[in-house]
Amino acid sequence: MWPDISSIDLTGETGRVFWIEVKKPRPFICENLERHMSSVEVLIPVGGQSIALFALSKDDAASSAGIDLDSIKAFILDGTVGMNIKEKVWHWLPYSLSEKAYFAVVLRNKTHKEDLEIVDLKKTLDLSISLAL
């Protein structure tokens, strides 16, 4: 990840554009999810194809107990649309289906320092998510 490629204005606040490259092989196993309690995240696929995982929160609790496990969904990102990830939505780094996949990510400034909650699913819930292709 290369932060601070560009600065943008998000409703009066400074934002950051990040560049992410994901590569194969990477097992289709997810043992972590993250969310931002007060920040949206824009994920723009710019090359390759991938799968991204998302889950809803049960409530606004600042713990893994807030993950609605029944809501976990996987979406194929084929490069034709970007995503605006609402605050409090659990997600994780996409898994590449092609040799490499590239993304531009837009976040409010300091989101990665001040508004980032990461949960270790294996440790906290004795759970991991495996995608069958």
What string of H, E and C letters represents the secondary structure of 21-78? EEECCCCCEECEEEECCCCCEEEEEEECCEEEEEECECCCCCCHHHECHHHCEEEEEC
Which H or E element spans position 120?
strand 117-120
* pLDDT at residue number 35: 93
Q: In this structure, what DSSP letter does residue 80 have?
A: S
The residue segments making up the domain with residue 53 are: 2-130
Q: Mean pLDDT over all residues of the chain?
A: 84
Give the contacts of 25 (CB within 8 A, at least 6 positions apart).
none
90-104 average pLDDT score: 94
With cut-offs at 50, 70 and 90, classify the pLDDT of residue 39.
confident
Give how many domains the chain has, as a whole number. 1
Report pLDDT digits (tens) over 58-68. Answer: 876 665 567 88
Q: Residue 5: pLDDT above 80? A: no
CATH number where 65 lies: 2.60.120.480
Q: What is the pTM of this model?
A: 0.83
pLDDT at 116 over 70: yes
